[in-house]
């Protein structure tokens, strides 16, 4: 997977974390094609599985859930409803946790939510400077670049340059505000509704919304 800064990074998947050995040996493997983190995750998960502390089937189900049932399409529904219904938009900006929960999107990593609205005067961007806190219930699993040290540091120090890396160029008079997610609070960016979409249904509007726009690294 290629990160926002153009660096190729491995993505932790079931294939990289649960691959197992089928032969006995007493020599060291060449893990040159894996990052140090991949190797450590693989070793830890294998050890925990062997000791019976984790169930691989349960892990598979969790990953499948966040890949197919929980993901950016949930957040896109929230955004589309806010675009189409002024009352819901006002509720979302006032109490995002309750408004999002009204659509059935609740659970871990989404217990306390804040929605921030992009306007011609203000563009919002979300980061987690300490680790990778992320609103799983509306955006699914975080992208690899979101967890990278480069994004976590540069988003705060030079947000306009980071946005340019994503292909986003804002007018000079548009302010950029960076929100730092924590274990207690997660953020959802409400992008500006594109012009010429007044005739679209909520389902059609939702199809326009990207994950990156809800993080703030894209316009829509």
Separation CA 193–CA 208 (nearest Å): 10
N- to C-terminal Cα separation, the chain: 22
The residue from 32, 35, 102, 133 that is catalytic is 133
Buried b (16+ CB within 10 A) or exposed e, 100-113: bbeeebeeebbeeb
Task: Give me the catalytic one of 11, 35, 131, 207.
Answer: 131
Residue 11 a catalytic site member: no
* Token reading at 215: 């993080």
Angle at the Cα of 141 from the Cα atoms of 135 and 143, rounded to 5 degrees = 105
CB 150 within 8 A of CB 157: no
CA distance 182 to 6: 27
Catalytic residue list contains 133: yes
What is d(CA 181, CA 177) in angstroms, rounded to the nearest whole number? 13
Report residue 90 as tokens: 């006002």
Reported residue count of the chain is 220
Which residues are part of the catalytic machinery?
A: 128, 131-133
């Amino acid at each position: 997977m290629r990160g926002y800064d153009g660096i190729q990074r491995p993505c932790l998947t079931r294939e990289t974390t649960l691959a197992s050995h089928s032969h006995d040996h007493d020599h060291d493997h060449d893990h040159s094609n894996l990052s140090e983190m991949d190797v450590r995750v693989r070793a830890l998960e294998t050890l925990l599985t062997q000791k019976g502390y984790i169930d691989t089937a349960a892990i598979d189900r969790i990953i499948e859930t966040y890949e197919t049932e929980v993901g950016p399409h949930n957040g896109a529904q929230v955004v589309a409803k806010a675009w189409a219904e002024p009352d819901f938009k006002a509720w979302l900006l006032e109490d995002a946790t309750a408004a999002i929960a009204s659509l059935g999107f609740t659970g871990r990593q989404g217990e306390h939510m804040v929605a921030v609205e992009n306007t011609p005067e203000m563009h919002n961007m979300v980061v987690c400077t300490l680790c990778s806190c992320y609103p799983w219930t509306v955006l699914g699993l975080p992208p690899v670049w979101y967890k990278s040290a480069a994004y976590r540091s540069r988003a705060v120090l030079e947000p306009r340059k980071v946005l340019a890396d994503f292909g986003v160029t804002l007018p000079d008079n548009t302010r950029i505000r960076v929100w730092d997610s924590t274990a207690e609070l997660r953020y959802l960016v409400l992008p500006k509704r594109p012009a010429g979409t007044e005739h679209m249904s909520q389902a059609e509007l939702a199809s326009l919304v990207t994950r990156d726009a809800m993080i703030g690294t894209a316009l829509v």
